[in-house]
Structures are given as C-alpha cells and as structure tokens.
Amino acid sequence: MNLGLPPMTTALLELAFDAGSPVIENTCVSFGVVLLFIQRGNNLKITNIHNVPETLVKLAKTNDYSKNADYSVTEIISPPRIQRLRKIHFKQMQTDVSDMLWQMLGTALHNVAEKSQVENHINEERLVCKIEGVTLSGAIDVQIVNGNKVSVIDYKFCSSFSVTDIKPEWETQLNIYGWLINKVKGLGIDKLQICALIRDWTRSKLLDKYEYPKAPIQVLDIPVWDLKKTEEYISSRIRLHKESKLSSDLGEELPLCSDEERWQRPTKYAVMKKGAKRAVKLFDDLEVATKVCNEKKEGDFYVEQRKGEPIRCAGNYCGVADWCSQYNKEVIANQNGGSS
C-alpha cells in the first residue's frame, strides 16, 4: 500500500515502468521475432496546478506506452473492475503533473538503463504471446541470459517498508514475465529479482533498532513458480477479465473487488485510558476488548471502535472510485447510517 502517495500517483505507479519505456514488441516464436517501436498519444487529462516547468509537463504528456496486445501483464494482475472502469473512464480521469513524479522518474530510469549496454543483458524488451485466444504482453526491464537460462530483473520504486514485506503482486508479475520468456524464447528461468529503489531511504534510520534496508537500492529474490502453475494462473486471470468486459458490454454489474483488492482495513476495538491518546491495546473482537476493559482495576478505561475501511477505495488509490457503484453504494449506505 502506498498510503503516503496521492491517489492518482498510486494508480499511475501500477503502470509506472511499463508506461515510460519505449515499446519493443517481440511476438511469440511461432510468429517470428518482430520489433516494433510505437508511441501513442495520451488521453489522460494532465493539469499543472503547481506551475512546474513546461518541459516537465511535456514529458508527462508524451509519457505514454502501447502494450501492443489485448492485455498487459499488469492489467491481468489488477482487479477486473478497476481495469474496466479505467478503460471506460480514461478520458475523464485527471491528474496533476506533480503527482506524476515517480512515473516520470521511471521514464528517466528506463531511458538511462537503455543506454547501459552490458554483455548478455537485454534491456527493456516487450514480449507478446497468445493465450486463451488473446495476446498478452509484458515489458521486461532486464534479462540476463546465461546459456539456455535467463534471470529477470524488474526495477521498482518502493518504500523501505515494501522491502521487508515483498508484495504478492511482484511475485506474480515476475513469474508471468518468466513464463513469457519461456514461451517466446524457450529459455528456462534461473532467477527472478526485484531491484528495489527505495524512495524514502535515509541514512539516519540505519541507526534505529528495527530492521531497515542497508542501502537505498536492494536486490530481492522472488520465488520461482512452476511454469504450469503460472500458465494456469494467467488463464484464470484472462478469463476473469474477459467476463468483466462481457458484463460491461452487456451493461451488467462488473465483478466486485474483493476485500484484499480493496485493501480492506478491518474494524478494531481499542481499550483506551481516559485522557490518553494512544490505545492500551487493540483487539479484533468487541467482546474481548470489553472484557479486558472491565478487568482493569485501576484507572478509567473505555472501548473505542476504530471502524475499518477499504483504503484503496476511500483514498481513490484505484483512480476510479468516482465511477464505482460498489464503493459508492457503500458510501451512501454509510451516510444513511446503515451498513452496505
């Protein structure tokens, strides 16, 4: 969760590295290898409320990419509802150029990385493969080829917190890249790695007692899945997205986002001491919290409810909360004092 970031930044970050890269499409082996360089116009409305230099605004506006396929890897990993709403409302979506800082830095990094040619390293290659009757593409930051095996590295801007708690979607994304490489080039997967570029790293925190990354750049090993398992996962995700598109075309309700996809924070019950700002202890269960509260012999204690909420919706981190019936029904229900 990127809770410290503006909503649209987080939405855009989901595309960040793909978005900035020149598109190099490498079709499945069965189609032969074809290289395409395509740059598309950007329909997203970009404002400049902080009056940043025009050169940056132009960079933000031209900073688009083409996936050259029916679906990209990042799309199929994302919740179908979010993807469909983004497609429907893309022209209404708006962001400020200042919120695109990390996306632009991603672009800059891609441009620099491309110039760094190292033997056996392939930079910025987009691979495309057919599966489930559609084309799926993925832009791979770095491939290191060693004989008939390849190691994959993906750059990620992230917080220091993410380095100690690897995001499941990173594991999924890299394994799908591995699968694509295997399908397109017939190579086996040696290693999958994230090169984490830590946005909030500061040297002073190294002195703190808790676990903290030793440097602002960390290389993290990602578990490698069995290729069959990866293919089954890809098929299931594509089917979900196809169903979502069909529902949208028929004017039906889109598949709902799950609690996990909405970054649902559960309701907690805090045992509080009168006059204190911080909870004595937090509980998941009201009964347990009440019991603990009643057992306190000295002082004045009470139980405070900390209502859970879907963080991704409430902060519009998906970028489409304004048009989401699932979330808006809940907002209305809560305003009317009920539950959804």
Stretch that binds ligand SF4, among 141-149, 163-171, 275-283, 319-327 (CB under 6 A): 319-327
| Residue 85 beta carbon to ligand SF4: minimum distance, rounded to whole angstroms | 6
Is 86 a binding residue for ligand SF4 by CB under 6 A? The answer is no
199 with 157: CB under 8 angstroms?
yes
Is 77 a binding residue for ligand SF4 by CB under 6 A? The answer is no
Report the C-alpha gap between 162 and 317 in whole angstroms: 17
Build a one-symbol-per-residue string for 252-291: x at contacts with ligand SF4 by CB under 6 A, - elsewhere.
-----x----x-----------------------------
Is 152 a binding residue for ligand SF4 by CB under 6 A? The answer is no
Exactly one of 73, 192, 196, 320 binds ligand SF4 (CB under 6 A); that residue is 320
| Residue 256 beta carbon to ligand SF4: minimum distance, rounded to whole angstroms | 7
DSSP 17-73: HHHHSPP-EE--GGG------------SEEE-TT---HHHHHHHHH------SSEEH
Is 80 a binding residue for ligand SF4 by CB under 6 A? The answer is no
Exactly one of 51, 85, 87, 168 binds ligand SF4 (CB under 6 A); that residue is 85
Amino acid identity at 41: G
Is 326 a binding residue for ligand SF4 by CB under 6 A? The answer is yes
Exactly one of 318, 331, 333, 338 binds ligand SF4 (CB under 6 A); that residue is 318
109 with 155: CB under 8 angstroms?
yes
- Partners of residue 189 on adjacent β-strands: 150
- Partners of residue 204 on adjacent β-strands: none
| Residue 89 beta carbon to ligand SF4: minimum distance, rounded to whole angstroms | 11
Q: Strand ranges (DSSP E) for the chain?
A: 25-26, 45-47, 71-72, 94-96, 121-131, 134-146, 149-158, 188-198, 217-222, 264-265, 268-273, 281-283, 301-306, 309-310
H helix or E strand, kind and range, residue 272: strand 268-273
| Residue 254 beta carbon to ligand SF4: minimum distance, rounded to whole angstroms | 8
H helix or E strand, kind and range, residue 107: helix 101-115
Report the C-alpha gap between 177 and 79 in whole angstroms: 19
Report the C-alpha gap between 186 and 224 in whole angstroms: 16
Build a one-symbol-per-residue string for 98-137: x at contacts with ligand SF4 by CB under 6 A, - elsewhere.
----------------------------------------
Residue with tokens 């990385």: 113
| Residue 328 beta carbon to ligand SF4: minimum distance, rounded to whole angstroms | 8
Q: Which is nearer to ligand SF4, 71 or 263 (CB)?
A: 263
Interface positions with ligand SF4 (CB under 6 A): 79, 81-82, 85, 257, 262, 310, 312-313, 318, 320-321, 324, 326-327
